[in-house]
């Protein structure tokens, strides 16, 4: 482990992960999953070690109900919950699926209440108290989400927290539904809601690229749970990336999670394969380039000690590092790449290959492993054929 990171670590306790890949993740434009596909992702999530799997939104379709039933009856270590509006019909559908937990939500912000639902704050709190009480009477473990909580007056949020706690909810989720929260504001909100003596969770969206930062801030302020999705898929710009949150929370902030980090790379590839939603190459932790090195200065450092240019050993998340030849490459990096291919070149051949790689780079081309092998073979032929004379001095 990197001494630099280790020195920044403190033991800050455990953060629970509610994975919502199968609910908010499936709300990603372009993604739709069959019950069998949901089941296979749930099995992987359970192996990965998430605390709670949000299986879906049963009232929306027969397939959602089928998936939730399958997942709820699988005997997973993870708890299984599903989404419901603050409506009896929604809650009954969830009960029919056999889940032990329920995630009831309702908008709390004035803009939502006034413009979309056309009800008053008082009507909202009454409706929520009734719904939570109904779920409680059926023995469900209840998490309540205040939708658009981050655009709701603090006074109203804390009032709702008190109401749902009294009605039997054990977790209050602050949903940053449109992704406008900042880390400082999130800390304040978590502290305000915690004053109602209820466990706090956060559900962050990534509209400004702050979902992970806001989730970390929430944990620092005492939130006990974070909602996340594999590779951050979800409505619009997506949700908190599970793999980014887990690695930052553990390695930079000293929290622990139940996640088997060595499975992260494989798990994200698995979800991407099923959803058909690609993982961007520059995605932290799991993107193709996250442990790829190209510049000569970096590749030389990596060969001396990988921690010179890597935040942590890629093996921790089930990956390996790789080097790419390009115009910023130096002799060290290209020789190292060739060694991995079991190719050893003499100094002159190596110099020839390095020059060709740089020429290619200057004309806008990168050099793949395959092309590098071909250049290495060409270098031997060229040297053997005496073409070196024309190549001298370049
Ligand atoms: Mn959401």
Q: What's the CA-to-centroid distance between 386 and ligand 1, angstroms?
A: 66
Distance CA 249, CA 255 (A): 5
Distance 155 CA to ligand 1 centre (A): 23
Residue 145: closest CA among 94, 93, 106, 199: 106
**Greater pLDDT, 330 or 225:** 225
**Nearest-angstrom CA–CA distance, 214 and 203:** 9
- The alpha carbon of 179 and the centre of ligand 1 are apart by a number of angstroms equal to 9
| Model confidence pLDDT, tens digit, residues 347-376 | 999 999 999 999 999 999 888 888 999 999
Average pLDDT in the chain: 92
**Spatial separation of the C-alpha atoms in residues 378 and 234, rounded to whole Å:** 48
Which pLDDT tens digit goes with each residue over 321-348?
888 888 888 888 899 889 888 899 999 9
Q: How far apart are CA 371 and CA 327, in angstroms?
A: 14
Domain ranges of the chain: 3-275, 290-384
- CA of 336 from ligand 1 middle (Å) equals 45
C-alpha 239 to ligand 1 mean position (Å): 7
What is the pTM for the complete model shown? 0.89
What are the structure tokens assigned to 148, written together? 């658009």
Give me the half-sphere count of Cα atoms (radius 13 Å) on the Cβ side of residue 59.
13
CA of 173 to the centre of ligand 1 (A): 11
CA of 26 to the centre of ligand 1 (A): 10
**391 Cα–ligand 1 center, Å:** 60
Contact criterion met (CB below 8 Å) for 208 and 178: no
Q: Please, what is the angle between helix 88-96 and helix 62-72, to 10°?
A: 50
Phi, psi of 360 (to 5 degrees): -60, -45
- Distance from the alpha carbon of residue 84 to the mean position of ligand 1, in angstroms: 13
Residue 6 above 80 pLDDT? no
- Separation of 177 CA from ligand 1 center, angstroms? 6
Centre of ligand 1 to C-alpha 28, Å, is: 10
**CA separation for the pair 305, 293 (Å, rounded):** 13
Asked if the model's pLDDT at residue 135 lies above 90, the reply is yes
- How much distance in Å is there from the Cα of 92 to the middle of ligand 1? 22
The domain 3-275: what is its CATH number?
A: 3.20.20.70
- Chain centroid to Cα 64, Å, comes to 23
290-384 fold:
H-NS DNA Binding Protein (4.10.430)
Task: Give residue 145 CA to ligand 1 midpoint distance, Å.
Answer: 10
């Amino acid at each position: 482990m990197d001494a630099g990171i280790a020195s920044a670590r403190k033991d800050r306790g455990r953060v629970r992960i509610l994975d919502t890949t199968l609910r908010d993740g499936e709300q990603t434009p372009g993604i739709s999953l069959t019950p069998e596909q949901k089941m296979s992702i749930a099995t992987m999530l359970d192996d990965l070690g998430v605390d709670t799997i949000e299986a879906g939104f049963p009232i929306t379709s027969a397939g959602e109900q089928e998936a939730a039933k399958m997942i709820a009856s699988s005997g997973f270590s993870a708890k299984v919950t599903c989404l419901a509006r603050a409506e009896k019909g929604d809650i009954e559908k969830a009960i029919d699926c056999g889940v032990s937990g329920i995630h009831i939500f309702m908008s709390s912000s004035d803009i939502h209440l006034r413009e979309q639902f056309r009800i008053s704050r008082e009507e909202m709190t009454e409706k929520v108290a009734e719904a939570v009480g109904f779920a409680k009477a059926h023995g469900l473990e209840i998490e309540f989400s205040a939708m658009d909580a981050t655009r709701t007056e603090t006074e109203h949020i804390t009032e709702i927290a008190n109401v749902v706690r009294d009605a039997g909810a054990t977790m209050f989720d602050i949903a940053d539904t449109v992704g406008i929260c900042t880390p400082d504001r999130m800390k304040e909100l978590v502290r305000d809601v915690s004053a109602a003596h209820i466990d706090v969770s956060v559900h962050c969206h990534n509209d400004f690229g702050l979902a992970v930062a806001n989730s970390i801030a929430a944990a620092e302020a005492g939130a006990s749970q974070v909602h996340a999705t594999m590779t951050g898929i979800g409505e619009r710009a997506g949700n908190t990336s599970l793999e980014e949150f887990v690695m930052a929370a553990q390695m930079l902030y000293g929290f622990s999670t139940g996640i088997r980090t060595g499975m992260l790379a494989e798990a994200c590839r698995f979800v991407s394969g099923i959803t058909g939603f690609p993982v961007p190459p520059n995605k932290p932790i799991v993107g193709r380039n996250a442990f790829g090195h190209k510049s000569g200065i970096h590749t030389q450092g990596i060969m001396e000690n990988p921690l010179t240019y890597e935040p942590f050993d890629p093996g921790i998340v089930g990956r390996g590092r790789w080097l790419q030849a390009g115009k910023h490459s130096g002799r060290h990096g290209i020789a190292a790449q060739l060694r991995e291919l079991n190719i050893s070149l003499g100094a002159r051949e190596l110099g020839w290959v390095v020059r060709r790689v740089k020429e290619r780079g200057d004309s806008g081309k990168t050099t793949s492993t395959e092309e590098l092998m071909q250049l290495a073979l060409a270098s031997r032929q060229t040297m053997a054929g005496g073409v070196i004379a024309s190549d001298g001095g370049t």
